[in-house]
Structure 1
């Protein structure tokens, strides 16, 4: 019997006890800064001699820690360890593999504020964003453990007289997991354990912006009883070991979350069959979005403004689900814009270590430069009505920015900025609202704000995104509740946190026995 899944609750930081506990976790993590973290290959901790230094994006001279960087030789060593471990890990029962995940979830739950504090320090996440990230990581562990038990018996098929047919699922092999900086615990953990619980072994290459959080997670998986070689921790250069492992003939699948540019590169490279390769590699990719909050003419104006602002500026807009476009009916355009600007100007930007901070920094100098350049483009394409300024002296801070009166084909309406910038565009009818909503290369999330039931039903049919939200923000998918993944250039629509996600890490086998 599979126990019911219930998602991890978020922490209420208005409760003084919770606030004190989180401040204590921040103090604890601050005392641990500057540590060195080795690679983990076949259960052995290896120092490579080359390091990736991780700095606090809110205080850019503060070293969070250093992580050993793998080269091609060490990546090959990790591949051989994973291949060896696969020979026994694939034969572990689903119950035993699921038990490791549930134990890891329990460990992280006990240390929830500590992990969230690392997210504050290394990723620049404000308290609530960090807490949600950690809760989602726990959710992935709990949900995928239970999903594996549901899949254990395979699926029913028909049998005839004198014949028994079985349809089951078996693991693929060695997977390369390449995880992003923006959900450095949740997405990294979710993509990793989905591969592990289904019987595969993993080479984990986390984002070079947030490798310490990943190192801490790998320690938890060890503590939970994961055998050596099943999870190998190999941070390093994407151009060096990333390409090497994607091309490797023994790589069976690649699970990637990141930019469209890198995702397309991986997809193309993985399609090539190399000498010694006896399969077509599977690619699971989530590659970003250009997501729209659509506001119909009879929408609740305050709800519309809040949905736009909180969709666009949560974690400084550094979410693939971020609502970076507001398409508003012309009859209420100015009213919604006015409310959104007022709300935006009320947001607190500053150190994510302060409980009152709504928005912290962007992740690094390259992100800061890119976003500021798009703001300059936006000033040419529309009217700056909020924000528009940045300050990189102490950390990579950018004010939440709204550009109004933007044409539907403008660059800031079409290109993913991945920062705190929202473009406002006007439409004259529900037909035009939906037409503009669908006019990008992406199809990840969208929100439709309306009181009109006919228009809502049209949006359900015509708004072409993987995750459509009615009368709420277009961010904040919960594992097991809103399976997450998008269409078109947003990726392979591999619905993370959904009932069929684990199947992407397995292959179906039919066994037919005649009596």
Structure 2
């Protein structure tokens, strides 16, 4: 049987409690959800915020979105580039249409044609964060498939069942005291790739880790950017199987273990002399 190692996506979640530092949460949420246009298998898909601090964190996060620059990924001033292809963009558009009917879209950055953007150091007219990308910049005049980053508040966790591969962050308000119940509901969806926790209480981080299965857990930091040899990467269930990439057990998985036993005494040898 050919060995199989699978690493797929996940409904990656981040749980915050009321002790979490707001500024750090917002910074890590924006990076985890929107870097690489949300097209990392480790990207943040679900953000769980406690009722007491949800409004404050959301208000700051929505403001931080206005600082994002959408454009050509070859431009060092760009924060978010295009989606990989038109089909992927169509899937994201369809999901957002459903969310507008079933949930509450708090914000989605608009994508509109504009003149080519100018970077810093080029005199007057240097890049402004509020400008939109030149969506006709692809050779041949075809529009690049951009998808505006969005934050959507769900009424319940049942409104999302599978990974949405793009810059769309779903928010769920919850009571940290119910972490076991909420974690079980999330775990029942079958994914187990990355998990984030923001808290100054080790007991809360331990409770989240116990409630939600995940191959990679990050506490008080982003959930993207695993380093080979430092944070071996991979999950379980619908998120993959087998040893983690970048870990010590990955390569041996492709090898076949064999045991060879030779009776050297039967060949006329003296085991004591041969083993000196």
**1:500 equivalent in alignment to 2:221:** no
Q: In the TM superposition, what is the alpha-carbon distance from 1:460 to its structure 2 partner?
A: 3.1
Aligned to 1:266: none
- Tell me whether 1:381 sits opposite 2:92 in the alignment: no
Distance 2:203 2:33 in 1: 27
CA contact (8 A) 1:375 1:388 kept: no
1:370 aligns with 2:91: yes
Contact kept, 8 Å, 1:381 with 1:407, in 2: the verdict is: no
TM-score if structure 2 supplies the norm length?
Answer: 0.80
Q: 1:402 Cα deviation (Å)?
A: 0.5
* Alignment map for 1:337-352 (pairs within 5 Å): 337-352=58-73
- Cα displacement (A) at 1:342: 1.2
Are 1:431 and 2:187 an aligned pair?
A: no
Task: Check conservation: 1:294, 1:327, Cα contact below 8 A.
Answer: yes
Work out which structure has the larger RCO, using CA pairs closer than 8 Å and 6 or more positions apart in sequence: 2
The whole-number CA distance in structure 2 between the counterparts of 1:381 and 1:473 is: 29
Q: Which has the higher strand share?
A: 1
Contact 1:345 1:386 (8 Å CA) reproduced: no
Q: 1:375 to 1:388 in 2, by over 3 A?
A: farther
Q: Structure 1-normalised TM-score?
A: 0.44
Residue 449 (structure 1) aligns with? 198
Unpaired runs of at least 5, structure 1 = 1-279
Look up the match of 1:421.
168
Q: Classify the secondary structure of the residue corresponding to 2:258.
A: strand
Q: Shift of the alpha carbon at 1:381?
A: 2.5
Partners of 2:177 and 2:67 in 1: CA distance: 31
What CA deviation, in whole Å up to 9, does each residue of 1:188-244 have, x standing for no partner? Answer: xxxxxxxxxxxxxxxxxxxxxxxxxxxxxxxxxxxxxxxxxxxxxxxxxxxxxxxxx
Q: Secondary structure at the match of 2:70?
A: coil
What SS does structure 2 have at the residue aligned with 1:323?
coil
Deviations 1:33-69 (A, max 9, x none): xxxxxxxxxxxxxxxxxxxxxxxxxxxxxxxxxxxxx
Secondary structure at the residue paired with 1:398? coil
Count of residues in Structure 1 that have an aligned counterpart in Structure 2: 234
Following superposition of structure 1 onto structure 2, how do residues 43-122 of structure 1 map, counting pairs within 5 Å?
none
User: Helix, strand or coil: the match of 2:189?
Assistant: coil
Name the SS of the counterpart of 2:241 in structure 1: coil
Q: CA deviation at 1:390?
A: 4.6
Quote the residue 1:466 is aligned against: 215
Equivalent-residue separation in structure 2 for 1:330 and 1:439 (angstroms): 23
